[in-house]
Structure 1
Amino acid sequence: MTRPESRPTLLIAHGAWHQPSSWAATCDALAELGYRTRVPALPSAGRNPAPTGSMYDDAEVIRRELSGVDGPVVVLAHSYGGIPVTEGVAGATSVSHLIYLAAYMLDAGESMYSFHGMETPSDTSGTFPLMENPREALYHDVADELADKALGQLVDQSLRSFADKVSTAAWQDISSTYVVCGDDRAVPPALQETMAARATASRTLATGHSPYLAAPHRFAALVDEIIRSAPAAR
C-alpha cells in the first residue's frame, strides 16, 4: 500500500463561476486518504469588481502554484478548469498525471468558443452569463442544502477566458485520465466522450456535473484509485 507521505500532492483547478471553497468537502475526503491538496483561485472568476482575467492568467496561476509544491503532483481539472490546466501544465516535469473531470480537454488552437462551433466575439470584455437554470445544470443530484449553499457562492466569469485559445496541450506529453459524468446536464456526456478519446484512459461516474459536491467520498476514492493505477507517462 502506498504510504501517505509518498502520495503526490493534488492541485485542483475549479470550474467557471466557482471558487476554491466549492472543493472543501472533497479536499477533506482526500485528506482522509492521505493526500495534500491545493485549490488556487483562478482570476477569471470573481465579483465586485467583475473579473477580467484571461485563460492565460489562470494558466499562470496554475504554473506558479506548481512551482511551490515539493515532490510529484497530480493535477485535477473540473469543467472550464481543464482549459488553463491544459495550457499551464505543459512542460511541467513535476506533474505525473492529469485528471479531467467533465472538463474541457482542448487541443492547441482550440478555445471554448471554437470547440462548440461558435464564432469568437469581437469584444471579449465583460462577463459570460451563467446558464439559465444552474441548480439543474450543475447540481441536480446534490442535496438541497448543499446545492443552495453552492449556488450562493457562484461568482462572475470573464468572457475572455472562454475566447482564449490553447497554445500548447499538456495532455500530449503527460498521461491523463478523463472522468465522464454520465448524468451531466451541463456538459453533455456525448461531448465528454469525444474529449475522453484524447486521454490515456477514461472512467465513468453515474453522477451529474459536480460529483465533488454530490458524492465527495466516492469521488475521492475514485481519484485515489486512478492515481494508484495511473498509466505510465507517454
Structure 2
Amino acid sequence: MSTFPTLVLVHGAWHGTWCWQPLIDHLPDLDVQTVALPSSGQNPAVLGDLYDDAAAVAERVAAIGRPTVVVGHSYGGCPVTEAAATVATVHRVIYLSALMQDVGDSALSLVGGVYPPYWDVHEQPQEGADYGYFGAAEPLEALYGDVEPHLAQESVTRLGRQSLASVTQPLTQAAWRTVPSTYILCEEDMAIPLPLQEAMAARAERTVRLRSGHSPFLSQPAELARVLRDELAFSISDRRSSSA
C-alpha cells in the first residue's frame, strides 16, 4: 500500500465517478477512491439532497479506516465541507475550483439565489420544499471549454440531472475551519469565475493555480495528478511537523 494517504475524489453537479478516470489513470501507484453523489443521476424522481451527499462522503471516508485526503470539485465542495470534519482520518481537504463556503451558506446563495444561465431548471414545489432538478444547458462552453472535443462531447452525453435541494440547502458544518485545506484555482474556468474562486480560496491554508478550465481532470489529468501528489506529500510532512 502507498505511504500516501488515500485520495478520495468527489465529483460535482451532473457528473458521476466516470469523470475521474483520466486522472486516476495518472495515479496508478496511489490508493484512489471515488464517491458517487446521490444528488446526481439520470432519474430526477430519486435524486438525493446535500445531506445525502454529505452522508455518502462521510460513510466512504470512515470505511477506508486510514488517513485520507478528500478532493471536492465544483458543487462537490459543498458535501465535502459538510462531511469532512466529522471523520477523524481526514488529514486535508482539497477544493478543486470548488464551492468553499461557511455554515448557513448554500450553493445558490453564492449567486444571490438566482439560477445561473447555464442551468436548465425544472422546479417542482411541494409542501414548502422544491423537489425539482436542473440540467446543464451549455455544458461544452461552461464545463469543457479546454477539453479535447471528442472527450468533451462524450462527457456531455454522460451528464445527468442535479437535484435543486442539493444547491438550496444550507451547510451546517464547515470542515475547513478545523481541517487543513488547499484550494486549486482554475484560472480559465467559465463556470466558476476566477474572482469568485479567489474569494473562497482566501479561507484555505494553501492555494495552487492551474491554467485550465473547469474540468482539469479531463483537460490536464497529468498536471492535476502532479499537483495532487504534491499536496499529498505536503499533507504527510505537515502532519509530521505538527506532531513533532
Q: Would the TM-score normalized by the shorter structure come out above 0.5?
A: yes
Letter in 1 for 2:135: P
Rounded Cα–Cα distance in structure 1 between residues aligned with 2:174 and 2:27: 27
Residue matched to 1:79: 74
Residue 134 (structure 1) aligned with residue 139 (structure 2): yes
Query: Any residues of structure 2 matched to 1:161-176 within 5 Å, and which?
Result: 161-176=166-181
> Runs of 5+ in structure 1 lacking a partner?
none
Check whether the contact 2:70–2:92 (CA below 8 A) recurs between aligned residues.
yes
Quick one: distance in 2 between partners of 1:70 and 1:165? Answer: 28
- Matched with 1:183 is 188
The residue number in structure 2 matching 1:13 is 10
Which whole-Å CA distance do the structure 2 matches of 1:197 and 1:56 have between them?
A: 25
TM-score, structure 1 normalization: 0.92
1:3-22 deviations in whole A, cap 9, x for unaligned? x6211111111000001011
State the alpha-carbon separation in 2 of the partners of residues 113 and 147 from structure 1.
26
Aligned residues: 228
Instruction: Give unmatched runs, 5+ long, in structure 2.
Output: 116-124
Indicate conservation of the 8 Å contact 1:111/1:162, yes or no: yes
| Amino acid aligned to 2:186 | C
- Segments of 4+ in structure 1 off by > 2 A? 48-52, 119-123, 229-234
Kept after mapping to 1: 8 A contact 2:78/2:171:
yes
Task: State the 1:49 CA deviation.
Answer: 4.7
Please list the CA deviations of residues 160-180 of structure 1 after superposition, one character each: whole Å capped at 9, or x if unmatched: 000010001011001000000
Alignment of 1:110-129 (within 5 A): 110-118=105-113, 123-129=129-135
How much has 1:226 moved relative to structure 2?
1.6
Contact 2:35/2:56 (8 A) holds in 1: yes
Decide which structure has greater strand share.
2
What's the Cα RMSD here? 1.8
Secondary structure of 1:136's aligned partner: helix
State the identity %: 40
Instruction: Note the C-alpha offset of 1:35.
Output: 1.1
